[in-house]
Structure 1
Amino acid sequence: MTHELEQAKQPVSAALAGPYGHPFHPILVTVPIGAWVSSLVFDIGSRIVGDPGFLARGSVWLIAIGVIGALAAALIGTLDLLAIPTGTPAFRTGLTHMSLNLVVTAAYVVGFFWRRAASAGAGPVGIGPLVLSAAALVALAASGYLGGKLAYHYGVRVAAESTQAEGYATRHAA
C-alpha cells in the first residue's frame, strides 16, 4: 500500500473525525439527507391535503434541521478531506463532493428564508421553493455518489484490506 493511500485512511483527529475505520462523517450526513428528503415529502403533501399549513411549517423546520446537520457533517468531512493527499484524483473528487454539498446547503438556506418571507401561514408550499428543494436533492444525490466513490472506490477513511481480512478469518476448532 502506498503512503498516500495509508494517509487517506487515517483520521486527521480521531477525537473529532472518528477513529481509524470508524469515521463520523457518514453517520452525520444521515441528518441532513433525512431532513431534506422529508421536507420535500412535506412540500408535496402540502399541495395535496386540505389543511396544508402544518406540513408547510414542518417543512421549514426540517430544512433548518438539515442545514444545522449539514454544517456539522461539513466540519467533520473537511477533516477527512485534509487526510487525502492533494493533487490526487481522490482529493479532486473530495473537493467536488464538498463544493456540491456547499451549493446544496446554500440552496436550502435560500429556500428557508424564501419560505419565511413568503409564509402565508395556512397555505401550501409555493412551487418555487418546492422546485428549489427538488433541484437541491438532485445535486445532493450527485454529491452522495461522489462520497460513495471516495469511500468505496478510493478507500478514503476505510480500514486497510489487512484489517478487513480479520472479519473473514475462520475460527479453527480447538
Structure 2
Amino acid sequence: MTQSTPQNTPLQRAKQPRTPLAGPYGHPFHPILVTIPIGVWVASLIFDIIGFFVEDPTPYVTAAWILILIGLIGAVLAAIWGFLDYLQLPSGSAARRTATIHMSLNLGVVVVFLISLIVRLTSDDDEVSIVGLILGIIALAALVVSGWLGGKLAYRYGVRVADERTQMEGYR
C-alpha cells in the first residue's frame, strides 16, 4: 500500500493520518512528541534522588518541579497528536480497546504528575518532597505500562506504521 492506495479496510485507515497535522504516512508525530514528557519525568526522578545525597538539595528540588511542568506541557501536546491517531481506529477493534487503555493510563499519569507538582510547589525547596517523589514513581510505573501498550499499537497492530510493501523499499 502506498499513500495513493484506497482506504477501504479498517487497517488501511488506521495506517493513514487523519490529517496532515498528524504527520505523514508511516511517520506519525505522536511517537516523537512522547519523548519529551518521558525524558523530563525520568530526569525529575533522577534529580529527586540526587537531592537526597547532596548538602544543598534546593537546585535539584527546583529542577525536578520545573521538569515535571515541562513534562505536563509536553504530555498535552503528545495527547493532541495521539488523539488524532486514535480517531482513525475502528470502534470495537482490539486496537481501539488497547488505545483506549493506553490513553486512559496516560491521562492518569498526567493527573498524578499534576498532583505531584502541586505538592512540590506547596512544600519547601530545601528538601526533596517524599510525597512528590512517591507520586512520581507511581506515575512512571503507569507510564511504563502505557508505553508497552503504545508499542503494541505500533508494532503488533501497525497503527500509523507503513505497510509491508512500503517497508520492503528499505530492503532492496
TM-score greater than 0.5 by the shorter chain: yes
1:25 paired to 2:22: no
Structure 2 counterpart of 1:12 = 18
Query: Aligned to 1:125, what secondary structure does the other structure show?
Result: coil
Partner amino acid for 1:27? I
Query: Aligned to 1:47, what secondary structure does the other structure show?
Result: helix
Please, which of 155, 165, 168 is the counterpart of residue 168 of structure 2? 165
Deviation at residue 44 of structure 1 after TM alignment? 0.9
Structure 2 counterpart of 1:172 = none
1:68 paired to 2:36: no
1:21-44 CA deviation, whole Å, 9 max, x = no partner? 110000000000000000000011
Measured in 2, the distance between the counterparts of 1:68 and 1:31 equals 9
Please, which of 150, 155, 160 is the counterpart of residue 152 of structure 1? 155
Measured in 2, the distance between the counterparts of 1:70 and 1:125 equals 24
Partner amino acid for 1:71? V
Measured in 2, the distance between the counterparts of 1:132 and 1:85 equals 34
RMSD (Å) for aligned C-alpha atoms? 1.1
- Note the residue ranges of structure 1 that are not aligned, 5 or more in a row: 170-174
- Note the residue ranges of structure 2 that are not aligned, 5 or more in a row: 2-7
Structure 1 stretches of 4+ moved >2 Å: none
Partner amino acid for 2:52? R
1:124 paired to 2:127: yes
Structure 2 counterpart of 1:78 = 83
Deviation at residue 128 of structure 1 after TM alignment? 1.0
Measured in 2, the distance between the counterparts of 1:67 and 1:151 equals 23
Deviation at residue 127 of structure 1 after TM alignment? 1.2
Query: Aligned to 2:122, what secondary structure does the other structure show?
Result: helix
Partner amino acid for 1:9? K
1:131-174 CA deviation, whole Å, 9 max, x = no partner? 110110000000000000000000000001110011111xxxxx
TM-score relative to the length of structure 1: 0.93
Measured in 1, the distance between the counterparts of 2:129 and 2:27 equals 41
TM-score relative to the length of structure 2: 0.94
Query: Aligned to 1:51, what secondary structure does the other structure show?
Result: coil
Q: Is the 8 A contact 2:119 2:131 kept in 1?
A: no
Q: Is the 8 A contact 1:43 1:124 kept in 2?
A: no
Residue identity (%) = 54
Report the count of equivalent residues: 166
